[in-house]
Amino acid sequence: MTDETQRPHRTRRDSGNVTLQDIAAHAGVSRSTVSLVLRESPLVAKRTREQVRRSIKALGYVYNRGAAALRATRTSTLGVVVYDIANPFFGAMVAGIDAALNREGYVSFLANSEDSPERQQRFLERMREHRVDGILLCPAEGTDPALVATLEAWKLPCVQVLRHIGTPPYDYAGTDFRQGVGLAIDHLVARGHERIAFIGGHTEHSATRERWQGYREAISRHGLGYQRLLRSTVTRRDGFEAIQQLLGESPPPTAVVCHNDLVAFGAMLGLQRQGLTPGVDCAVIGTDDVEEAALSAPALTSIATHPYAVGREAARLALRRIQTPDGAREQVVLAPQLRVRESCGASLAHDRPLAATP
Amino acid sequence: MTDETQRPHRTRRDSGNVTLQDIAAHAGVSRSTVSLVLRESPLVAKRTREQVRRSIKALGYVYNRGAAALRATRTSTLGVVVYDIANPFFGAMVAGIDAALNREGYVSFLANSEDSPERQQRFLERMREHRVDGILLCPAEGTDPALVATLEAWKLPCVQVLRHIGTPPYDYAGTDFRQGVGLAIDHLVARGHERIAFIGGHTEHSATRERWQGYREAISRHGLGYQRLLRSTVTRRDGFEAIQQLLGESPPPTAVVCHNDLVAFGAMLGLQRQGLTPGVDCAVIGTDDVEEAALSAPALTSIATHPYAVGREAARLALRRIQTPDGAREQVVLAPQLRVRESCGASLAHDRPLAATP
DNA sequence: TTCTAGTTTTGGATCAATCCAAAAACAACC
DNA sequence: GGTTGTTTTTGGATTGATCCAAAACTAGAA
């Protein structure tokens, strides 16, 4: 007797799932050929390819990416770590990432670290277990700089986004916060301001440092005698309180640049609470240019940091790194833009001058 | 000769990866035992378990979830589809999902459908290929109601969130928008309003229908003669334009309830543009209670819809469905709450009454 | 000591794909 | 017809875990 009779009949598989084997049988070719068709290999003859395609449709086959990944060691997945997904800035960034990945057939795991290095660490370990092809990381505050080296040792390509830790070279996508603050101050100085304060940022991560550096450099570049940097966390309430503190000092600033738009909104509220008008009695400039900036009253002048574009660039970088793991590390730093609106006196200044014009 | 000599030496694996095999060799047990230890099986003796744990640490083993999933048909992954991740409401919802999943060792793929049924479809097919254990779906506008049945046929557990399509029974987590609008109108009526309009919602999906239904029911429940429902998309600009249109009508409304907070912010701006004060000349109530609501000027009264909690409940439902695929479908509908602030005249009414008090 | 019952451990098959070297099919030329 | 070269196709091994039935230990009672 042949061994055919011994092994159970196998045209329809034991489990309900249709596999390459089933398609191969249906199309009268081998497993390998079907696999080649699925991967669009040019090796397969046209007639065969078409026949296999027909069988795939006929049997309602669903590609099993997990099984493929096991052998091929590519999963077409990416891990994305942000520290505050509820912040609309990150929402826009994730949208940019999603759009870029989608085009390449990649999907992404998303995690919200809530700025906790421990949560972040747990997630990264889980990503390793899932064998993601790479990581997009907005490092949580207080992340050990050694993490970048750890990921390197894990052979997990990692692109840092917005904040960066560790020492170059690393892959990074972000915005030039330093330049952004510089732009804002140049604009204010051109409008005659001489006492410009900066509000916000409470911990030493790169995105804060860069803003402060931009502030200090611009102040000294313009030879201004006044310099005032007020640390704080970066909520609306912080802006609200900070501006009132600054107004109580003598001399008070005539303009403030804020860590982000939330702080700026708070600062505007604080001015209004004191019976003052933003853009008239004190200029206010925010950072990020969130949707609400254009629609607040008065409209907020803001340094646009392009979250969608940052996300898209970060995703591109990651895909490139996955293709060439040993290529030179890259840093994509987008140029910010100043969106001038009412809150820095743009269209109100003629009514009541903010400061002596040059 | 034995076949030992024929097969290549295998203590350290060919590929760089440490596998169960390697740990087994190191600990002097079998692959199966190591697997049992990893899955915390009570079958393994304490001594053995400890020895295996030591070997796992010593060799720096990383669990391969892909390989495990192939055999066990559980991936510990979930697909999440939203239609606008840049909206802070969804940000908060995703944060809730993330927190609930994290606790159970699950991770989630996130996709942004941008309200395109085609993008949504592509993503769902990809999720199927990745063999996710379930789907959390905020259906894109215009989604074919048959999609729910399709997912059912795919044997992919699906929990709908915020919007629902198809016919019950299905799993769903959301907020009772109908009740929310009812609460708002009850409050306004109690304050003496008789002409209450509703702004926003342009397409017939469940979340819009429920709001409209709540509006019409409340109006007729209170026996009000005035009824005005203005359709629109749901951006700030829509609110801005809608309120000005309503003010031009005779009689104009004395209060408006808005589809979401963005529309409400726009409506407040529109009032201010006309030299009117929200909460004094016309009451404004929003929906969602986003962070900004409490901090706008005047502070916005809003129907809180608890996005974080909705996300958390949706995730819980999904995990439950995965455990018992044939259990009864469940609907978790959270009760909204009215957060009363200045924009509906809460603390301003004594200055200048909005309407005759009862 | 043997038998039984309970506790641990194990090897082989399996999941569904890819990889790769070798075989088969085909065409072109002497 | 035989030889060579090119294009297609193939089967067996491999990836790294889990499943499962059977084997190997224990300990306690007869």
Q: Would you list the DSSP string of A55-75?
A: HHHHHT----HHHHHHHH---
Long-range contacts of B327-331 (CB under 8 A, 24+ apart): B328/B169, B329/B168, B329/B169, B329/B170, B329/B171, B330/B171, B330/B172, B331/B168, B331/B170, B331/B171, B331/B172, B331/B173
What are the pLDDT digits (tens) for B115-154? 999 999 999 999 999 999 999 999 999 999 999 999 999 9
CA of A312 to C1' of D17 (A): 35
Q: What angle do CA A217, A222, A223 make, to 5 degrees?
A: 95
Q: If DSSP codes are grouped into helix, strand and coil, which group holds residue A216?
A: helix
Supply the angle between the helices A261-273 and A236-247 in degrees, to the nearest 10: 50
At residue A94, the pLDDT reads: 97
Nucleotide nearest the Cα atom of B41 (by C1') = C8
Question: Which of B128, B125, B119, B112 has its CA nearest to residue B80?
Answer: B112
CA distance A124 to B211: 41
Q: What confidence category does residue A5 fall into, taking pLDDT thresholds of 50, 70 and 90?
A: very low
Q: What confidence category does residue B347 fall into, taking pLDDT thresholds of 50, 70 and 90?
A: low
What are the pLDDT digits (tens) for A113-142? 999 999 999 999 999 999 999 999 999 999
CA distance B229 to B253: 11
Instruction: Determine how many CB atoms are found less than 10 A away from the CB of residue A46.
Output: 7
* For testing contact with chain A, the best of B129, B156, B241 (most A CBs within 10 A): B129
Q: Phi and psi for A112 in degrees, rounded to 5?
A: -110, 110
Does B273 have pLDDT greater than 90?
no
| Rg (alpha carbons) of chain A, rounded to whole number | 28
CA of B20 to C1' of D15 (A): 12
Tokens (6 digits) for B61: 């083993």
CA of A33 to C1' of D3 (A): 29
* For testing contact with chain B, the best of A129, A150, A312 (most B CBs within 10 A): A129
Q: What confidence category does residue B88 fall into, taking pLDDT thresholds of 50, 70 and 90?
A: confident
> Pick from B80, B129, B308: which is nearest to A65 by CB?
B129
With distances taken from each CA to the C1' atom of nucleotide C16, the closest residue turns out to be A67
Does B17 have pLDDT greater than 90?
no
At residue A13, the pLDDT reads: 42
Whether residue B227 contacts residue B266, with contact meaning beta carbons closer than 8 Å, is answered with no
Instruction: Determine how many CB atoms are found less than 10 A away from the CB of residue B272.
Output: 17
Asked if the Cβ–Cβ distance from B236 to A91 is below 8 Å, we say no
At residue A358, the pLDDT reads: 30
Label each residue of chain B as H, E or C: CCHHHHCCCCCCCCCCCCCHHHHHHHHCCCHHHHHHHHCCCCCCCHHHHHHHHHHHHHHCCCCCHHHHHHHHCCCCEEEEEECCCCCHHHHHHHHHHHHHHHHCCCEEEEEECCCCHHHHHHHHHHHHHCCCCEEEECCCCCCCCCHHHHHHHCCCCEEEECCCCCCCCCEEEEECHHHHHHHHHHHHHHCCCCCEEEECECCCCHHHHHHHHHHHHHHHHCCCCCCEEECECCCHHHHHHHHHHHHCCCCCCCEEEECCHHHHHHHHHHHHHCCCCECCCEEEEEEECCHHHHHCCCCCEEEECCHHHHHHHHHHHHHHHHHCCCCCCCEEEECCEEECCHHHCCCCCCCCCCCCCC
Distance to chain B for A311, nearest Cα, Å: 12
At residue B58, the pLDDT reads: 96
Asked if strand C comes closer than 7 Å to B44 Cβ, the answer is yes
CA distance B39 to B67: 14
Lowest mean pLDDT among A61-70, A242-251, A284-293, B129-138: A284-293
Does B45 have pLDDT greater than 90?
yes
Q: Phi and psi for A251 in degrees, rounded to 5?
A: -80, 155
Asked if strand C comes closer than 7 Å to A64 Cβ, the answer is yes
Does B8 have pLDDT greater than 80?
no
Does A350 have pLDDT greater than 60?
no
Regarding the domain with residue range A75-175+307-333, which homologous superfamily does it belong to in the CATH classification?
Answer: Response regulator (3.40.50.2300)
CA of B57 to C1' of C9 (A): 22
Whether residue B9 contacts residue B51, with contact meaning beta carbons closer than 8 Å, is answered with no
Task: List chain B residues with CB under 8 Å of A288.
Answer: none
Amino acid of residue A259: H
> Pick from A75, A95, A130: which is nearest to B107 by CB?
A130
Asked if the Cβ–Cβ distance from A98 to B92 is below 8 Å, we say no
CA distance A134 to A154: 11
- Burial class for A300, CB neighbours closer than 10 Å (0-12, 13-18, 19+): buried
Asked if the Cβ–Cβ distance from A64 to B272 is below 8 Å, we say no
Task: List chain A residues with CB under 8 Å of B96.
Answer: none
Distance to chain A for B65, nearest Cα, Å: 5
The average confidence (pLDDT) of chain B is 90
Does B4 have pLDDT greater than 90?
no
Supply the angle between the helices B177-190 and B206-221 in degrees, to the nearest 10: 30
Q: If DSSP codes are grouped into helix, strand and coil, which group holds residue A44?
A: coil
Task: List chain A residues with CB under 8 Å of B295.
Answer: 236-237, 265-266, 269
Task: List chain B residues with CB under 8 Å of A266.
Answer: 295
At residue A26, the pLDDT reads: 96
The average confidence (pLDDT) of chain A is 90
Q: Which residues pair with B174 in a beta bridge?
A: B333
What are the pLDDT digits (tens) for A321-336? 999 998 999 999 999 9
Instruction: Determine how many CB atoms are found less than 10 A away from the CB of residue B280.
Output: 18
Length of chain A in terms of residues written? 358
CA distance A195 to A193: 6
Q: What angle do CA B122, B124, B128 make, to 5 degrees?
A: 115
Give the pLDDT mean for B289-297. Answer: 80
Question: Does A75-175+307-333 match A1-63 at the fold level?
Answer: no
The architecture (CATH level 2) of A177-305+338-344 comes to 3-Layer(aba) Sandwich (3.40)
CATH number of A1-63: 1.10.260.40
Residue A211 or A7, more confident:
A211
At residue A131, the pLDDT reads: 97
Q: Does the CA dihedral A264-A269-A273-A274 come out positive or negative?
A: positive
CA of B318 to C1' of D19 (A): 26
Highest average pLDDT, of A85-94, A150-159, B85-94, comes from: A150-159
Does B350 have pLDDT greater than 80?
no
Asked if the Cβ–Cβ distance from A66 to B85 is below 8 Å, we say no
Count interface pairs A-B at CB distance under 8 A.
135
Tokens (6 digits) for A141: 């505050």
Half-sphere exposure of B20 (CA within 13 A, CB side): 16
Whether residue A61 contacts residue A38, with contact meaning beta carbons closer than 8 Å, is answered with no
Does B353 have pLDDT greater than 80?
no
Distance to chain B for A224, nearest Cα, Å: 34
Task: Pick the residue from chain B with its C-alpha nearest to A60.
Answer: B154
At residue A237, the pLDDT reads: 87
CA of A32 to C1' of C21 (A): 13
What are the pLDDT digits (tens) for B196-249? 999 999 887 899 999 999 999 999 999 999 999 999 998 888 999 999 999 999
* Residue bearing tokens 């009541």: A352
Q: Which residues pair with A255 in a beta bridge?
A: A196, A283
Distance to chain A for B37, nearest Cα, Å: 17
Q: Phi and psi for B82 in degrees, rounded to 5?
A: -120, 165
* For testing contact with chain A, the best of B38, B110, B136, B341 (most A CBs within 10 A): B110
Q: Which of residues 11-40 of B touch strand D (CB under 7 A)?
A: 13-15, 17, 19-21, 31-32, 35, 38-39
Q: What confidence category does residue A298 fall into, taking pLDDT thresholds of 50, 70 and 90?
A: confident
What are the pLDDT digits (tens) for A66-103? 999 999 989 999 999 999 998 888 999 999 999 999 99
CA distance A263 to A58: 59
At residue B165, the pLDDT reads: 94
Q: What angle do CA A77, A81, A85 make, to 5 degrees?
A: 120
CA of B92 to C1' of D4 (A): 69
Question: Which of B139, B224, B233 has its CA nearest to residue B182?
Answer: B224
Q: If DSSP codes are grouped into helix, strand and coil, which group holds residue A6?
A: coil
Domain B3-63 has CATH 3.30.310.40: no
Whether residue A91 contacts residue A85, with contact meaning beta carbons closer than 8 Å, is answered with yes
CA of B33 to C1' of D24 (A): 14
Per-domain residue ranges of chain B: 3-63, 76-175+307-335, 177-305+338-344
Which spans in chain A are helix H? 20-27, 31-38, 46-59, 65-72, 88-103, 117-129, 147-153, 177-190, 206-221, 236-247, 261-273, 307-323
Question: Which positions on chain C have an atom < 7 Å from some protein CB?
Answer: 7-12, 14-20
At residue B298, the pLDDT reads: 85
At residue A292, the pLDDT reads: 77
At residue A155, the pLDDT reads: 94
* Residue bearing tokens 């018992």: B324
CA distance A125 to B164: 35
> Pick from A62, A107, A123: which is nearest to B109 by CB?
A107
Whether residue A282 contacts residue A257, with contact meaning beta carbons closer than 8 Å, is answered with no
Tokens (6 digits) for A27: 């199309």
Nucleotide nearest the Cα atom of B18 (by C1') = D16
Task: Pick the residue from chain B with its C-alpha nearest to A93.
Answer: B86
At residue A82, the pLDDT reads: 97
CATH number of B76-175+307-335: 3.40.50.2300
Instruction: List Cα–Cα distances, A243 to A237, A248, A258, in angstroms.
Output: 10, 9, 10
Tokens (6 digits) for A244: 């009132």
DSSP 8-state class, residue A41:
-
